[in-house]
A and B are shown apart, each in its own frame.
Chain A
Amino acid sequence: MFVELNSILNTSPDDVTQREFILLSDRKADASFLIHHYLSFYLKAGCKVCFVGLVQSLSHYSAVAQRLGVNLVQAREKGQLVFVEALKASAAVMLDQTGGDVAQMSDYLRSPVPELRALFEFVRASLSQAEAEADSNSPPVLIVDDLSVLLSLGVSVRAVLDFTHYCQATICSQLQGSVVTLVRCDDDDDDDEDESSSHLLRALSHQCTLSLRVEGLRTGYCRDIHDQVEIWWRGTGENVQSQRKIFQYKVYDKSVSFFAPGTSSAVL
Chain B
Amino acid sequence: MKLITHNILQNNMKDGKKGYPLVLQATKIDKVIAEFNQEFLLRMLDRLEYHVLIHALEMIGMKDFLPIILPENCSEDEAFMKNLHHALLEIDIIEGELICPESGRKFPIKDGIPNMLLTDEEEMAVDSEPKSK
Co-complex (A, B): no
